[in-house]
Chain A
């Protein structure tokens, strides 16, 4: 190889990343900077918005919306726990017991998600309607009180998010469990471990990277979700995503909406950093 070819070769990695960097610059870095600028502006729609480094937007945003922020974290935590409890046994079975049909079951698990998010959530409204196909007959038979409802309750919001984010938990868990070398379990049994302690001491620790990835992939978007709360919730289930959406589309308080978005982002980053430290994932994922 000539020296000029070697010199060219040095640039190849950079050239390869160029499209990605360009994309991120255009659709991530620039919007982020713009949004950050918006979060420090003051003004109104009539007067226009001007950058005045108005940091009070942040304290104002936090003061106005801390209830919804904590509610979102609370809902997202429940959702993460429930998706975990539902998916772990399911994908465990698929990974270890489904044999050659593994991929069929995986497809079945994902099938509902071929339908758009919005359609799925709207169909919940239809199924769970107060006098709909599910509650209607139960009420007619006198099994439920006329005023009983599932829609417009915290339960329906949490259940809706859980349903919508299930694959984000299930898939990373599946990947982690599927990669597990069966020889490890055989070794555990050879060393007189019973099935339960083999699970606790071998299977589960080895699936931790999946747990970590799955819970992040579920928790982070769940905190910011607003569709479920809007369609399935009531006035007391407002989440932080709804507040931000409203600041932009109804109140036209762009600065406070932008400030709130950054607060949310910062909160999640700190949370994730602590979580990563606690689970010590550098070893696990590295």
Chain B
């Protein structure tokens, strides 16, 4: 299964349930819900629920986001054998927001949720940490993380000091192009605005990806972006649309048109394009623009008041062993936060795994890494403003 399935398709199929929760229904019947204020605020003194290993771990993850063999995950099996912690691994997350909607209410009331580890994307980590919905991680239990994690995964802007999360896997938002149709190499975000490609350019319906990439193209670091910058980005996008340069705004469905020549170039997620670039003969190429691309990171985090926080730490530490990280990457094909996994995969017996090991889309080169940025952390107010600006763009 590819990124598109996880991020877009299922998301579209399963509309978020936020507004339809019990409290909304009670409210509809005239019964007041809670006051909506977060009451589970964590302070640095807030202790974990236990300092013992309980022998159980409830893990919520996305579908197809861990290695599998014969219906089981070798990584999970090995962890269970070595630690005597029984893992209750569930693929219950189909998109960030609707998953968040399922745990928001108990968390806001200071109650625990049935998960010890959840995997969500960086911007949601920032949001949840800010609301006090996540436990602080104890780095004294995460020796493998400090020893083996790549430098760009440490102290990220969305979670300074990795106080509430450590990365699971990640991917890049950049540009894919068909070199036969563009007739030249695409190197910049500005190329997406080139009138020469009128009607042949694809952009994303994802607000975060599109706005942040365009800001990078304007030379603005998303983290420093002001509302004026966001408005300027909107104007640029509106102009691009008015000039007929954009063929359509895509969710997951840009892969087919870039493959069959309807699109000459498009915003793209690295994971989608990986399969087309392995082997080296395809005219389809993926590029991280000169001005920068976006590294989105899915992270492991422990929800506030989780029952088995020490078991969770054990697992988080376990997957940062290079051999385990390599074993997962060979199957998942996303970017591993453990660079040492690359050397292990390069020695693999099968050709496909060696190609994966050598792909810059799975193991970005230092040059690429230096151009990667995170999504802008948006406050709730900013998020509303940005969504409004962006909706105007995609709803022509």
The residues of A with any CB-CB pair to B shorter than 8 Å are: 33-34, 36-38, 41, 43-51, 64-65, 68, 125-126, 129-132, 147, 149, 151-152, 231, 233-238, 242-243, 245-246, 248-255, 258
Interchain CB contact under 8 A, B28 and A51: yes
Q: Is the CB of B11 within 8 A of A49?
A: no
Residues of A within 8 A of B216 (CB): none
| Least Cβ–Cβ distance between B253 and chain A, in angstroms | 7
Stretch at the interface among B55-63, B97-105, B113-121, B334-342: B97-105
Q: Tell me if B360 counts as interface (CB < 8 A to partner A).
A: no
Contact (A147, B394) CB under 8 Å given A125-B256, A251-B387? no
Shortest C-beta distance, A249 to chain B (Å), equals 6
Closest A residue to B95 by beta carbon equals A249
User: Closest residue of chain A to B133, judged by CB?
Assistant: A46
Measured CB to CB, the closest approach of chain B to A206, in angstroms, equals 44
Complex Cα spacing A131 to B263, Å: 11
Interface string of B4-31 (1 = CB under 8 A from A): 0000000110011011110111011000
Q: Which 9 A-B pairs have the closest CB atoms?
A: A37-B28, A254-B19, A51-B27, A235-B396, A47-B36, A236-B396, A131-B261, A49-B19, A38-B19
**B199 lies within 8 A of A149 (CB):** yes
Residues of B within 8 A of A152 (CB): 199, 247-248, 262
Chain A residue at minimal CB-CB distance from B260: A129
Contact with A along B247-268 (1 / 0, CB 8 A): 1110001001100111000000
The CA-CA distance from A152 to B248 in the complex, in Å, is 7
Nearest Cβ on chain B to A164's Cβ, whole angstroms: 18
Whether the pair A46, B380 counts as a contact (CB closer than 8 A) is yes
Q: Are A249 and B380 in contact (CB under 8 A)?
A: no
CB-defined contacts of B387 to chain A, threshold 8 Å: 251, 253
Residues of A within 8 A of B19 (CB): 38, 41, 49, 254-255, 258
Give the secondary structure class of B's interface: helix
B176 to chain A, nearest CB (A): 17
In the bound complex, how far is the Cα of B54 from the Cα of A155, in angstroms? 63
Contacts of A246 in B (CB 8 A): 205, 391, 394-395
CB < 8 Å neighbour of A234 from B15, B100, B247: B247
On chain B, the residues within 8 Å of A37 by CB distance are 24-25, 27-28
Chain A: which residue is nearest B128 at the CB level?
A46
- A48-B23, A234-B244, A251-B387 given; 20 more Cβ-contact pairs under 8 Å: A33-B28, A38-B24, A44-B384, A46-B131, A47-B380, A50-B33, A65-B395, A68-B395, A126-B260, A129-B262, A131-B261, A149-B199, A235-B396, A236-B241, A237-B396, A245-B12, A246-B391, A249-B16, A251-B391, A254-B16
Residues on A with C-beta less than 8 A from B262 are 125, 129-131, 151-152
Specify which chain A residues have a CB less than 8 angstroms from the CB of B28 in the assembled complex.
Answer: 33-34, 36-37, 51
Task: Say yes or no: is B86 at the interface (Cβ < 8 Å to chain A).
Answer: no
A46 and B261 in contact, given A65-B395, A231-B253 (Cβ under 8 angstroms): no
| 8 interchain pairs, CB-CB under 8 A | A41-B24, A45-B104, A46-B104, A48-B18, A48-B23, A49-B18, A129-B257, A252-B18
